Structure 1
């Protein structure tokens, strides 16, 4: 096994990776103190491409902004160094590349429904011929974009005589002459005479020196990025689209009329259905999952997120508002009414409350790069699942530790357990009243699969290490000094919410205050972040600002 800090796995004993030292790298769209943030400028989606050389963000105004990596100009040289195990001292740096308006506000007259332009998700597709391809979606419509460099060509040289100018389509000389001359279309002239008998011009001996063919030299002076919408996938979802995921594997499979080869298909999911699309077919899709009951009063759960498996083109997973994850196999049937595996954590008897199902709802799931693990995020925790073990998560990480009740003394355990649970419910009531309990935080996993990350309130985000024996648990702030609001975290993953009544902790903490006495602001939240696919670099969105960190 290769150690994350050693170049040679045989020379370095296997063990947990050392905690990373995160540093500020860049910020785009930083606002000054007291500057009011416009609603349309708030970032709503972040996504790295497969190579990590490009980054895309979407905002609530329907715009997509692209960034490209600039710290290594010769990407081929960088990849050669990586293959030779040479260390690269530079950290990822990006620059603004281009932006375009992806979606506009619409109005559904049949349902009297306003459709916002907000970008919900962005997914990169495979590049071709130097062009970038990506999918973007709002609540109802998915668009397939191609961004390509176009060379702007301009006339750099012409062989016209500068002493002659064209007036009203005819060419005249710069000075008048008493001798009769015949002016040519290219600006030249000659003293040739006209013979009326033969109806011909007579040319002087030796030809006409001033007669020449017009020549125009065109040169490329600059390049510009031109975004073009290649496909629009609309009218396939009755409910808001919450996920899109493209098929990234290179194996082929058949499903009814759809043929997938080299990432030609993608899925889109709303609250009740998951549709399968072919990138080249925009007027029809195939419904593969439908959880809508015959009577809507019987509805007990909705789909919250969906993603294709990174290496098995026939498998995908989707999560629900009940805190469960279902793994389905497209080879079993065209309509996947039944799942292959179900991942959910059983609740201890008597632990349910009004908020149990709300905080158990999974807001985001991500497959690990190896395809064996699934990372899920509910309101209070991050959970890591092994697809070969459906009995429970292999690791659980507490995100909002400051919202959890604390026990003051070990005496009268049952009494204090009841008191702390009541205090906990009071805090959840406050979050329920201001709708914070419905915030949908995203999660991400490092390329080597050894660390996970997610966002929190007060523009904080958490990074956990889950390798065997790892004690890494950091709380960072989305600012130029990420370690400024460092919060004391437990040395190991905490137990799940269902075991609160069975856990006793020492010390006192006030609700909404961290270990350093800093108050938490529930109006500022870090919902969206992404991990670089091959390096320890994180991009996260704090309102309209994009912060980037490296370790």
Structure 2
């Protein structure tokens, strides 16, 4: 380092990290519309949840589910086969108005060895044959020149849920996963689609006695015997699969008790947990209800270690939100890979990012659009910031009634329900409407 020039040292001190590049890879149709003839019920193709499986042999594995059917997909690059070394030189036939392949075909190959253009038929084309024919004939050669991703459905898991599936979760053992509906949680083996095991059943003998339903279920990231599920009453239950085959009794209960005299008609509705996520280290659980984000420590079930206000400014509008059913919107949440930040969506295609480490008061509001800081620019009292300030913003969102964190009125017709944080990089994927936005800081 003593022999390094001053310019090199300055470059090391002020090196700007290169932002990742995202390219289109592939797409495929996961589910088709179905009809349940026994219940006379239409099943939409809409996908409720997607989960990544463990990679193997450079292949991607995906679990996807709609209301009733779960599918296990394998996405892998396959060589596109092409036919080359043709006997006939067809390049001259282009002058006669015909379209054909040359000895090194340039037509786009299909995954199964076909071609996007019509097959060549010698009888239907005016080709110049030399006098006396060809001295020798060569066999065409099949070559693989490029790789294309191909999706293949490996397993279909169906007819196991009477109610709509709301969540799926892969186990850390790489062999099993769970699926949950309003009243039951089933355990599956990835390689066996003919049977599943019911491990949680909250259905009462009399449906009139039903007081709460399951809203989300998630496996522990490292302990294959531990999972958590949330309920419509705001409770999170931790269960251990080693205790019994049917885990109706939880090992831990995480629940925040109401303050005396604060109960209202909307109390139970806004307390319903819409999503839970384990931190990568497995020590904490992040939960999202309608009004707040809560961070829980598995070793402390007396209450959340931190609460982050997301929709407190909407409390005066709960009656209106109930009338237009917006109060039942289910927002997801996510944590960064290092566990230092968490994020969740809101209305007007906004999402909030909070710092959750000790002494970190970060609270940033961004919009899922091409210009994420547009709403802040419209307000002259707010300083304009770039996306790189995502990691060091220290401003708390405003709590004005009926307005978002920047003083703007909410648009309840546009909502950001789905978002995910990259497990190792500081990037977030947000789904707003029919668009996907990637943010990197």
TM bin (shorter chain): 0.7 to 0.9
Look up the SS of the partner of 2:25 in the other structure. Answer: strand
How far 1:155 moved relative to its partner?
2.2
Partner of 1:369: 280
Look up the SS of the partner of 2:375 in the other structure. Answer: coil
Structure 2 residue 398 is matched with structure 1 residue 529? no
Structure 2 residue 238 is matched with structure 1 residue 292? no
- Distance in 2, Cα, partners of 1:508 & 1:287: 44
How far 1:484 moved relative to its partner?
2.8
- Distance in 2, Cα, partners of 1:508 & 1:548: 27
Structure 2 residue 82 is matched with structure 1 residue 151? no
* Counterparts in 2 of 1:174 and 1:548: CA distance versus 1, 3 Å: closer
Paired residues for 1:146-545 under 5 Å: 146-158=74-86, 174-175=130-131, 214-249=138-173, 263-404=174-315, 424=316, 427-486=317-376, 509=400, 511-514=401-404, 516-545=406-435
Structure 1 residue ranges without an equivalent (≥5): 1-86, 177-186, 189-209, 250-262, 405-423, 495-506
Per-residue Cα deviation, 1:316-372 (whole angstroms, up to 9, x for no partner): 000000000000000111110111100000112222111111000000000000000
Q: Answer whether contact 2:343 2:351 (CA < 8 A) is retained.
A: yes
Partner of 1:31: none
Q: Answer whether contact 1:478 1:542 (CA < 8 A) is retained.
A: yes
How far 1:167 moved relative to its partner?
7.4
* Counterparts in 2 of 1:476 and 1:126: CA distance versus 1, 3 Å: same
Look up the SS of the partner of 1:288 in the other structure. Answer: strand
Partner of 1:103: 31
Per-residue Cα deviation, 1:469-522 (whole angstroms, up to 9, x for no partner): 11101111112222233498x97999xxxxxxxxxxxx994x312465421111
Per-residue Cα deviation, 1:68-121 (whole angstroms, up to 9, x for no partner): xxxxxxxxxxxxxxxxxxx88222221111111111111111111111110000
Q: Answer whether contact 1:160 1:214 (CA < 8 A) is retained.
A: no
How far 1:233 moved relative to its partner?
0.2
- Distance in 2, Cα, partners of 1:175 & 1:474: 79
- Distance in 2, Cα, partners of 1:515 & 1:265: 42
Look up the SS of the partner of 2:313 in the other structure. Answer: helix
Structure 2 residue ranges without an equivalent (≥5): 1-14, 91-120, 383-392
- Distance in 1, Cα, partners of 2:69 & 2:130: 62
- Distance in 2, Cα, partners of 1:271 & 1:508: 33
Look up the SS of the partner of 1:346 in the other structure. Answer: coil
- Distance in 2, Cα, partners of 1:377 & 1:287: 26
Q: Answer whether contact 2:85 2:138 (CA < 8 A) is retained.
A: no
Partner of 1:93: 21
Larger-gyration structure (1/2): 1
- Distance in 2, Cα, partners of 1:116 & 1:519: 33
- Distance in 1, Cα, partners of 2:86 & 2:50: 47
Structure 2 residue 74 is matched with structure 1 residue 134? no
Paired residues for 1:51-62 under 5 Å: none
Partner of 2:99: none
Look up the SS of the partner of 1:95 in the other structure. Answer: coil
Partner of 2:44: 116
* Counterparts in 2 of 1:516 and 1:441: CA distance versus 1, 3 Å: closer
Q: Answer whether contact 1:396 1:493 (CA < 8 A) is retained.
A: no
Per-residue Cα deviation, 1:13-59 (whole angstroms, up to 9, x for no partner): xxxxxxxxxxxxxxxxxxxxxxxxxxxxxxxxxxxxxxxxxxxxxxx
Look up the SS of the partner of 1:96 in the other structure. Answer: coil
Query: Taking structure 2 as the reference length, what is the TM-score of the superposition?
Result: 0.81
The CA RMSD measured in Å over matched residues stands at 2.7
Look up the SS of the partner of 1:359 in the other structure. Answer: helix
Q: Answer whether contact 1:398 1:493 (CA < 8 A) is retained.
A: no
Q: Answer whether contact 1:267 1:277 (CA < 8 A) is retained.
A: yes
Look up the SS of the partner of 1:432 in the other structure. Answer: helix
Query: Taking structure 1 as the reference length, what is the TM-score of the superposition?
Result: 0.65
Structure number with the bigger relative contact order (C-alpha 8 A, sep ≥ 6) is 1
Partner of 1:184: none
- Distance in 1, Cα, partners of 2:395 & 2:163: 40
Q: Answer whether contact 1:462 1:476 (CA < 8 A) is retained.
A: yes
Q: How many residues end up aligned between the 2 structures?
A: 381
